[in-house]
Structure 1
Amino acid sequence: MNHIRALIRGSKTLLGPFPEINTDNGGVCPYQLFLEWFDSAVQHGIYEPHAMTLSTIDRYGHPDARVLILKDVDKEGWYFASSSKSEKGKQIHDNPPVSLTFYWPQIGRQIRIRGAAEMMDQETNKEDFLQRGITARAIALLDKQSSPLDDNQTLDFLLEEKLKWLKVNQQAIYPYWTVYRVKAQEVEFWQAHTERKHVRLKFARSNDQWVKKQLWP
């Protein structure tokens, strides 16, 4: 136990150097600042910068979280996709409020987004599903996500059969595939500082307008 504690406490954090952030140039729209930070993450070679943590609450009030991929972002919100029959889909149905978290440790930046997830229309869902790779579509069409798996041989066999079927039925759609949009109510940008003087900019929606404030570290 002491070894594990020492290993954890000995792990280095926030070594830097980190990009500078001008709080006066943060703009009045979190969407624009997000695009700037995302572009910076790409330019710095961050691996999978579109990976984010989606946090949800189930019907019993228990929190849940998992990492998935950002599909798109615009002034209306942040987009991701999943089966509406998945655990996250069920949780969103019961409790639409969610949060998204991006963390890019190499540049010491974190973005937290709080809002409600809403389902997009069927045409959007269809278009997104058909843009997925054939294996991803085949796995979705198996319609077994989160179900108990007895053995990997069963997975391999059913996946191979579904792949053969999908090559013939290339326009097949999984009816529960859903694109979700998170309409943000709060967005916080966190820039790390090696001396712990972190910069935090918080945007909060008020009467369809964004109000920006800088927070203490």
Structure 2
Amino acid sequence: MTPESSPGSSPAAAPPADQANSLRQWLRSLPMFPAALPPLDVAALPTTPDELFLRWLREVAAAGQPAARVMTLATRGDDDMPAARNVLLTALDEHGWQFATHASSPKGRALAAHPFAAATYFWPVLGRQVRLTGPVLRLSADAAARDFRERSETARASILVGHQSEVLAAPDAYQAAFDRARNALHDNPALVDPEWAVYALAPERVEFWQGSTTGPQTRALYQRVGASWAISTLYP
């Protein structure tokens, strides 16, 4: 992700769609990163990727990165084609990087058939990217119930409606189903969707990329070796 425009520069006006050369120039003019980015000291890396990830997450959040806990999750889709979407990090513990969804959703079905995934975080406010790859485990029903109950009523009602990514024939049908779900929660605040599931990505590889606008970029790789991690640096 080598920057192609000056840090903080203003992009040119969007060109007409049929002017391919102008489009290329406009794309290169789009600003990427702030002028000053922090370095990554590869001589002082922590022993586990969890520690570095959480340090980076706190730093980008403090620096004003919107939606800092959003990660792009890639799986093998129902048709064996790659499928990617954004999900929210809900926890990070000994199980791995956790996220939640319906077990019957496209990603839930994909993970049931092929329980492996790749995930990417991109935090431009500090010029950082994190990549993870490894197996995915579905956690317990208790973990799913806890995650469900911690969500807002609006979020829980939306989850109860279900049918994620299915064709919606009429918007009114969704609103009616949403209202029924909200009423059900009012009647039974302890209600939990039995299809709700929490998954943990337990990476075998975690790569940290630190961009730079004034010198070389830096990449550090953690690879799981038994119960520990081997750390190496990579050409950017």
* 1:14 paired residue among 10, 29, 33: 33
Task: Please report the TM-score for the alignment, with normalisation by the length of structure 1.
Answer: 0.95
After superposition, residues 46-61 of structure 1 pair within 5 angstroms as: 46-61=65-80
Q: Which residue of 1 aligns with 2:172?
A: 153
What are the ranges of 5 or more consecutive residues in structure 2 without an aligned counterpart? 1-17
Q: Match for 1:166 among 175, 185, 205?
A: 185
What's the offset of the Cα at 1:158?
1.9
Q: The residue matched to 1:114 in structure 2 has which SS?
A: strand
**Contact 2:78/2:106 (<8 A) preserved:** no
AA of the residue aligned to 1:47: P
- How many pairs does the alignment contain? 217
- RCO higher in structure (CA 8 A, sep ≥6): 1
Aligned residue in 1 for 2:127? 108
Give runs of aligned pairs for residues 1-217 of structure 1, distance below 5 A: 1-2=18-19, 3-195=22-214, 197-217=216-236
Percent of paired sites with the same residue: 29
Cα distance in 2, alignment partners of residues 173 and 74 from structure 1:
23
Gaps of 5+ in 1: none
- Identify if the C-alpha distance between structure 1 residues 140 and 207 changes in structure 2 by more than 3 Å, giving closer, same or farther: same
Between the aligned partners of 2:144 and 2:211, the Cα distance in structure 1 is 37
One-letter code aligned to 2:76: I
Residues 208 and 219, structure 2, Cα contact 8 Å, conserved in 1? yes
Q: CA deviation at 1:27?
A: 1.6
CA distance in 2, matches of 1:210, 1:144: 40
Give CA-to-partner distance per residue, 1:187-207, whole Å, 9 cap, x none: 000000114611000000112
Post-superposition shift, 1:59? 4.5
Matches of 1:117 and 1:207, distance apart in 2? 17
